[in-house]
Amino acid sequence: MATIKVPSNVSSITFTSSGVKAASSGLITGITAVEATVATSPYSANAGYKGIQYTDGQAAYIYLPSVISSITINGNVYAVTSGVIGPVPAADVAVFIGSLRNVNALFQLVTG
């Protein structure tokens, strides 16, 4: 089983294979190695990753890896639809991206 580091305002993630996993001290444990690899892989435009797109400065859409089916950010549950969640309030997005350790990936591999 693998562990990933998540942004400070993420309290849980639902993975396609491992199901719902709660964050504890900024870590999510007990996911498969494949889920951890996909979730922590650097994104590129060539791979179809579109990043975080603001709509009007007040909210944004966040594109997530295919192994994630929902994510809870600041107490709000966002279902992933076609690889994207949103709109996410700009204040929540600021914390989300401010917590990133690797600018090319949303999550960081701890063990896996």
Q: What is the mean pLDDT of residues 71-92?
A: 92
User: pLDDT by residue (tens digit) across 13-71?
Assistant: 999 999 999 999 999 999 999 999 888 877 644 444 556 676 666 788 888 888 999 99
- Amino acid identity for residue 35 in this structure: E
The answer to whether residue 100 scores a pLDDT higher than 70 is no
Domain that holds residue 19: 2-111
DSSP per-residue letters across 68-92: EEEEEETTEEEE-BTTEEEEEEHHH
pTM of the model: 0.85
The answer to whether residue 11 scores a pLDDT higher than 80 is yes
Q: Number of folded domains in the chain?
A: 1
Query: What's the pLDDT score for residue 103?
Result: 53
Task: Give dist(CA 36, CA 46) in Å, integer.
Answer: 21
